[in-house]
């Protein structure tokens, strides 16, 4: 007769009580028996009861223990690699979900392995016992009790064993074992599937074409043929440069060595940054790529303190203008690509350059780090308001909706690690050529596109008057974007909000050139830290986690992740939008 779980527990309890009573009856009457004997007997039988339960329910107990162990190991790894993050940008429920999703396949594989090993050990033990039994002639020698009651108990036990040997194998137990094994193996295979599908198609649209460009390079590349000026500056970046250089080289093959100029300035580094850049220069020479890489630059004096203050911004502005000088000296480039010292893939940079088929004035990626969207000092939504560090980042409704749909969102200012923009504003009026029509970029392996982009040039329409706080105020009457002086990186004017040179560039694009088409592309993930790059690029963009973020979180808590740099009570609004009261 089969009994349920409750019945089994009641049987065990009854057996425990009988065992306790037996010990007390046998030893309690002995002369000199200890008063602690009943306590000892009770503890012994209780331990036996607990052990019996553990043996009987070994599988569910093992499953719970293994799951908890794996989860805690992943949690410890998460805290080691991503510890110290700003809480509002890393919701606990998201972390628990990610850790649980990561635990399940590992748990399934571990449990399947435990089941198979246990079954194997049982089989080996059974065969060993049979082999030993044959060697001993199946002889069994047991002490013959003298007590009649013990003889009867021994006979009953022999009868029970004999009946058990006659019973057929428990097919139900075997079926349950097999179903559990299939279940655990299915979880492990699901984990393999999640690993193989960690990238969404929209996140690597240009990967195949970039790979082809590096496998079968050609001078004209595999892009649209547009000429791109790649600009960067580095300081003590030996940790990121090997990766950055490898991805920049892949990008150059994609754009075409004939279509690229690389301009880099390094100064004041105390690590191997200069040597790495000089090696990169040698690579560019071997590829016949136009470039100017300056190391150990001393032409611009570095402030004694690089704390966030006007001297720092003035220094960075001067260095960035030095990086841009070859654009004026050599000309012929219609697109500028500025990269900070970030981890970013070549195909992501291609995605950035080809945002809306090149129909933008400036476009930025997402630099994500320990407080989420990192460059809060620069980013402003379409209305000039502060942003959130948590997805979907923008409070303004249109931008919010565009980011949620993985589309470029219109903003008033951005930089965020890496940015692309039109080159003409940086040139004197006499050198401006506009942008001709190019073939639209291809994401597959097709050779050419029949569709073309729209040609573009700076407007000849009169610009509105400048606000009095702008350093170029007053602007000449009937001034146009086409006639405006060359754009430069700069520090804030005395009546402006203290801002980064990276913020003032898009601000000046809008005020001095009327270029309002500034976009934030949520597909271009980059980071200053390798650990955070992997987390935001591959974990939060995984289709399972992405589904959770978009459908379960759905922006929950992102209002609390708005970071104001400085005392929030001192924040104010100026012509460029909300002002961080940093300094």
- For 214-233, the pLDDT digits (tens) are 999 999 999 999 999 999 99
Of 80-89, 465-474, 502-511, the one with minimum mean pLDDT is 80-89
262 and 402 share one domain: yes
In the chain, % of residues over pLDDT 90: 71
168 and 212 share one domain: no
Task: Report pLDDT for 50.
Answer: 67
Predicted confidence (pLDDT) per residue in 412-468, tens digit: 999 999 999 999 999 999 999 999 999 999 988 766 667 888 999 999 999 999 999
Task: Report pLDDT for 523.
Answer: 97
Span 78-107, average pLDDT: 91
185 and 233 share one domain: no
Is residue 357 over pLDDT 90? yes
Can you list the alpha helix ranges (DSSP code H) found in 136-240? 148-166, 171-196, 207-215
For residue 120, the SS3 value is: helix
Task: Report pLDDT for 557.
Answer: 84
Task: Report pLDDT for 556.
Answer: 84
Is residue 129 over pLDDT 90? no
Domain boundary among 178, 196, 214: 196
Residue 315: half-sphere exposure toward Cβ, Cα within 13 Å: 21
Of 20-34, 191-205, 417-431, the one with minimum mean pLDDT is 20-34
247 and 366 share one domain: yes
The number of distinct structural domains making up the chain is: 2
The whole-angstrom distance between residue 132's C-alpha and the CA centroid of its chain comes to 58
Residue 68: other Cβ atoms inside 10 A: 12
Residue with tokens 């649980």: 100
pTM of the entire structure?
Answer: 0.85
125 and 227 share one domain: no
Token digits for 326?
């070859």
Is residue 566 over pLDDT 70? yes
Establish if 79 belongs to a structural domain.
yes
Domain ranges, residue 294:
204-437+463-579
371 and 271 share one domain: yes
Yes or no: say if 316 and 235 are a contact pair by the CB < 8 Å rule.
Answer: no
422 and 544 share one domain: yes
Is residue 151 over pLDDT 60? no
Token digits for 484?
């405006």
More confident site: 513 or 47: 513
Task: Report pLDDT for 1.
Answer: 44
For residue 338, the SS3 value is: strand
Span 174-178, average pLDDT: 89
Predicted confidence (pLDDT) per residue in 233-286, tens digit: 999 999 999 999 999 999 999 999 999 999 999 999 999 999 999 999 999 999
Establish if 376 belongs to a structural domain.
yes
Of 47-61, 208-222, 470-484, 559-573, the one with minimum mean pLDDT is 47-61
Burial of 117 (0-12, 13-18, 19+ CB in 10 A): exposed
422 and 287 share one domain: yes
More confident site: 132 or 28: 132
Yes or no: say if 335 and 227 are a contact pair by the CB < 8 Å rule.
Answer: yes
100 and 218 share one domain: no
Span 277-297, average pLDDT: 98
Establish if 140 belongs to a structural domain.
no
pLDDT band at 55 (very low <50, low <70, confident <90, very high): low
Span 281-303, average pLDDT: 97
98 and 235 share one domain: no
Task: Report pLDDT for 25.
Answer: 56
Task: Report pLDDT for 136.
Answer: 59
Crossing angle for the helix pair 241-255 and 346-353, nearest 10 degrees? 50
Token digits for 296?
């150990």
Establish if 177 belongs to a structural domain.
yes
122 and 239 share one domain: no
Question: To the nearest whole number, what is the mean pLDDT of the chain?
Answer: 89
Task: Report pLDDT for 559.
Answer: 83
In the chain, % of residues over pLDDT 70: 84
Establish if 45 belongs to a structural domain.
no
Domain CATH code at residue 468: 3.90.550.10
370 and 486 share one domain: yes
Task: Report pLDDT for 582.
Answer: 81
Yes or no: say if 367 and 340 are a contact pair by the CB < 8 Å rule.
Answer: yes
Establish if 183 belongs to a structural domain.
yes
Establish if 18 belongs to a structural domain.
no
Establish if 190 belongs to a structural domain.
yes
Q: Can you tell me the distance from the alpha carbon of 580 to that of 583, in angstroms, rounded to the nearest whole number?
A: 8
């Amino acid at each position: 007769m089969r009994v349920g779980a409750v019945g089994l527990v009641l049987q065990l309890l009854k057996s425990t009580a009988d065992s306790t009573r037996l010990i007390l009856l046998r030893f309690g009457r002995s002369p000199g028996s200890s008063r602690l004997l009943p306590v000892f007997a009770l503890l012994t039988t209780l331990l036996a009861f607990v052990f019996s339960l553990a043996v009987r329910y070994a599988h569910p107990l093992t499953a719970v223990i293994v799951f908890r162990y794996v989860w805690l190991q992943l949690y410890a790894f998460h805290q080691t690699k991503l510890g110290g993050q700003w809480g509002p940008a890393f919701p606990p429920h998201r972390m628990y979900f990610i850790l649980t999703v990561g635990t399940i396949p590992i748990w399934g594989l571990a449990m399947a392995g435990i089941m198979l090993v246990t079954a194997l050990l049982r089989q080996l033990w059974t065969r060993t016992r049979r082999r030993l039994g044959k060697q001993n002639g199946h002889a069994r020698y047991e002490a013959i009790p003298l007590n009649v009651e013990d003889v009867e108990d021994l006979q009953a036990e022999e009868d029970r064993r004999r009946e058990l040997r006659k019973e057929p194998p428990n097919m139900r137990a075997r079926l349950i074992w097999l179903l559990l094994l299939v279940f655990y193996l299915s979880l492990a295979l699901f984990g393999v599937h999640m690993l193989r599908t960690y990238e969404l198609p929209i996140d690597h649209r240009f990967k195949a074409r970039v790979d082809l460009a590096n496998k079968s390079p050609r001078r004209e590349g595999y892009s649209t043929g547009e000429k791109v000026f790649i600009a960067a500056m580095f300081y003590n970046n030996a940790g990121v440069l090997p990766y950055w250089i490898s991805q920049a080289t892949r990008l150059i093959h994609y754009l075409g060595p004939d279509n690229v100029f690389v301009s880099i300035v390094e100064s004041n580094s105390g690590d191997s940054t200069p040597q790495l850049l000089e090696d990169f220069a040698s690579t560019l020479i071997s590829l016949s790529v136009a470039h100017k890489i300056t190391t150990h630059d001393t032409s611009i004096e570095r402030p004694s303190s690089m704390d966030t203050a006007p001297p720092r911004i003035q220094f960075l502005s001067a260095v960035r203008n030095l990086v841009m000088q070859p654009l004026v000296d050599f000309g012929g480039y219609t697109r500028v690509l500025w990269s900070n010292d970030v981890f970013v893939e070549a195909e992501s940079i291609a995605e950035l350059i080809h945002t809306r088929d090149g129909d933008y004035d400036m476009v930025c990626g997402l630099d994500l780090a320990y407080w989420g969207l990192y460059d809060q000092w620069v980013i402003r939504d379409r209305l000039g308001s502060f942003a959130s560090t948590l997805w979907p980042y923008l409070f303004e409704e249109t931008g919010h909706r565009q980011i949620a749909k993985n589309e470029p969102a219109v903003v008033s200012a951005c930089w965020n690690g890496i940015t692309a923009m039109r080159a003409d504003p940086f040139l004197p009026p006499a050198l401006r050529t506009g942008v001709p029509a190019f073939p639209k970029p291809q994401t597959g392996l097709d050779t050419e596109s029949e569709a073309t982009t729209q040609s573009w040039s700076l407007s000849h329409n009169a610009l509105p008057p400048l606000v009095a706080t702008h350093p170029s105020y007053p602007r000449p009457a009937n001034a146009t974007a086409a006639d405006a002086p060359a754009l430069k990186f700069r520090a804030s004017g005395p009546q402006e909000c203290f801002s980064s040179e990276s913020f003032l560039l898009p601000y000046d694009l809008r005020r001095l050139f009327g270029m309002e088409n500034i976009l934030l592309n949520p597909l271009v993930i980059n980071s200053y830290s390798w650990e955070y790059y992997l987390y935001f690029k591959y974990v939060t963009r995984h289709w399972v986690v992405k589904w959770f973020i978009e459908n379960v979180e759905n922006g929950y808590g992102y209002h609390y992740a708005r970071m104001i740099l400085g005392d929030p009570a001192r924040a104010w609004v100026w012509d460029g939008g909300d002002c961080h009261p940093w300094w």
